[in-house]
Structure 1
Amino acid sequence: MDSPLDFRVFVEPQQGATYADQLAVARTAEAAGYSAFFRSDHYTAMSGDGMPGPTDSWVTLGAIARETTSIRLGTMVTSATFRYPGPLAIAVAQVDEMSGGRVELGLGAGWFEAEHKAYAIPFPPLGERFDRLTEQLDIIRGLWTTPPGETFDYSGSHYTVADSPALPKPVQSPHPPIIIGGAGAKRTPALAATFAAEFNIPFAPLEVTATQFERVASALADAGRSPGSLTYSAAFVVCAGRDEQEIARRAAAIGREVDELRSNSPLVGTPGEIADKLGAYREIGVQRAYLQVLDMSDLDHVDFFAAEVIPQLS
């Protein structure tokens, strides 16, 4: 029998959420048995006013690390444009220590130009962003895995490291899991095969997901990695309910139409309906699902999915 799907909660605080809002979701998810609480790494809202304003992802996760005990914590995904690789390696290693080894690093090239302009962050062209992402991954992994007492050096086109003490070390060995995601046809699968413990594709139809998983599997083979050395995951907006009235109420709360949500996400509908739709994703290789919870005030939604949907898939 296939192993049960792993479920994680994923929030978008830039749309409008305080630290307290995020902590409440994380604690609810932990109590309900989800394996992880993840958050986006953005500085401006994609819609609405985003009040009361953004919270920094790694500051937030460091705080949540001290207020939880078992749930894993991470970013989906940190933008490589936001931080230099050295300080990012330090921050993630520190949160790993603060959490007792529960951190995962999702890292991407960055894409939302408006937030870069809004907060004085350079936004290079796409090709350069991927080059910088690749160098960041090299450096972060290098800093984390350099044996204690030895130094780390690196010479790249965009970043150079000289005589680094490569400290602090994360708690997890050899280092916290790295997650690479996206639908890019060539560079994304290659990066996943080189660096990642998990590959994630967000908000994609079944056929697109299957195609991308095949590309990643091919890149794994090219890199000499075993097929089972990578976890395949997908992220979907969640809108679950006992009946059509409850589903419609939750859709309205996030400003979406039920029919549109149903056509774009398998995590929309009644528990039985969701279990059936997720079955098709399991068949193409999805091992882990991230629930994008857009109404962070609706903690009952998180509990309901854990109590009524997850048991049908275990």
Structure 2
Amino acid sequence: MIEVAVMIEGQDGLSWPLWRRVAEVAEGSGFAGLYRSDHFVGPDGPYKDALELWTSLTWLADNTERIEFGPLVSPVSFRHPVITAWQAGAVDSLSGGRLRLGLGAGWQRREHEAFGFDLLGTERRFARFAEGLEVITALLRSGGPASFSGDFYRLDGASISPRGASPSGPPVVIGGNGERRTLPLVARYADEWNAVFIGAERFRELSERLDALLEESGREPRSVRRTLMTRAVYGRDEREVERLLGDRERGELQADGLLVGTAEEILAGLRDLEAAGVERVMLQWLDTDDLERLEDLGREILPELGA
């Protein structure tokens, strides 16, 4: 049965009162999880409130009981993988094993230039990401000291504790749709693949490609969970849907993988994704000033999905 979680943009005006309210809605309405981005600022527009990722997740671990949570995704380009692994192990332990550790290479040029981090060109950026994944998984999954020597990072008999609530540490999530760079890294390192803004047909194609890569690497395809992050444009009736759409075309948004419409239409879209192999959808909710509508969405669709 497909699960539904909430995803918000952590740099888009996220204050402590709002974070508490979003957590309350996600936990109380029956959503499977709560995820957030990890950015200093958006790619354009003004600077807004932006709670630091691990501070906010530490609070969430200690102030919720049921929901899974994590970053979608945290970049190694401005977070050192040793510190990320250390923080993740502690937060996962605090939460009783509810952290899903989403990791990425980094992509947004504006924040890297503003704060003095080197984004690098695409090839070196992904080489650094691969080394970061090697470091993080070595520290979180190994019971003994870890050593590694690369171009970007080094370990020499290093270990961290706690490594999380389970001996293998928190599950590693790798996000992205790239067949040449991202999916091979998923096949090698990830416990979960999180696709981004694609429809059911494209998801199925990429999932089949991931199956082949996993088999080539000696892993069972079922060992990697399949999830999708996409936006929800939900209206309680057709008039509200049209108001929310404005001058945007419903069909164009749906072609880009967005879930658009009333509860019945959102449910139909979720069923299509479930048939394509999606196990959890992280619904990106941009209207954080209207969380009552998010509660209504949960009330309408989650019982239909057996949540």
C-alpha separation in 1, matches of 2:221 and 2:6: 26
Q: Are the equivalent residues in 1 in contact too, given 2:200–2:257 (CA < 8 A)?
A: no
How far is the alpha carbon of 1:258 from its aligned partner?
5.7
AA aligned to 1:75 is P
Matches within 5 A, 1:162-311: 162-251=156-245, 257=248, 259=250, 260-311=252-303
Distance 1:117 1:219, change over 3 A: same
C-alpha separation in 1, matches of 2:302 and 2:44: 30
How far is the alpha carbon of 1:40 from its aligned partner?
0.4
- Greater mean deviation of Cα atoms: 89-98 or 103-112: 89-98
Q: Are the equivalent residues in 1 in contact too, given 2:39–2:111 (CA < 8 A)?
A: yes
C-alpha separation in 2, matches of 1:258 and 1:18: 32
AA aligned to 1:23 is R
AA aligned to 1:37 is L
SS of match in other structure, 1:103:
coil
Q: Are the equivalent residues in 1 in contact too, given 2:197–2:258 (CA < 8 A)?
A: no
Counterpart of 1:5 (choices 2, 5, 8) is 2
Superposed CA RMSD in Å reads 1.8
Q: Deviations over 1:42-101 (max 9, x none)?
A: 1111343242x3221111111122221121110100011011111111111111122222
How far is the alpha carbon of 1:278 from its aligned partner?
2.5
Q: Are the equivalent residues in 2 in contact too, given 1:143–1:167 (CA < 8 A)?
A: no
Q: Are the equivalent residues in 2 in contact too, given 1:16–1:45 (CA < 8 A)?
A: no
Q: Deviations over 1:220-270 (max 9, x none)?
A: 111122222111111111121221122234446xxx736354443452101
Q: Are the equivalent residues in 2 in contact too, given 1:234–1:290 (CA < 8 A)?
A: yes
C-alpha separation in 1, matches of 2:179 and 2:198: 14
C-alpha separation in 1, matches of 2:78 and 2:197: 23
Distance 1:50 1:87, change over 3 A: same
Q: Percentage identity across aligned positions?
A: 33
SS of match in other structure, 1:157:
coil
In the alignment, structure 1 residue 67 sits paired with structure 2 residue 58: no
TM-score (norm 1): 0.91
SS of match in other structure, 1:91:
helix
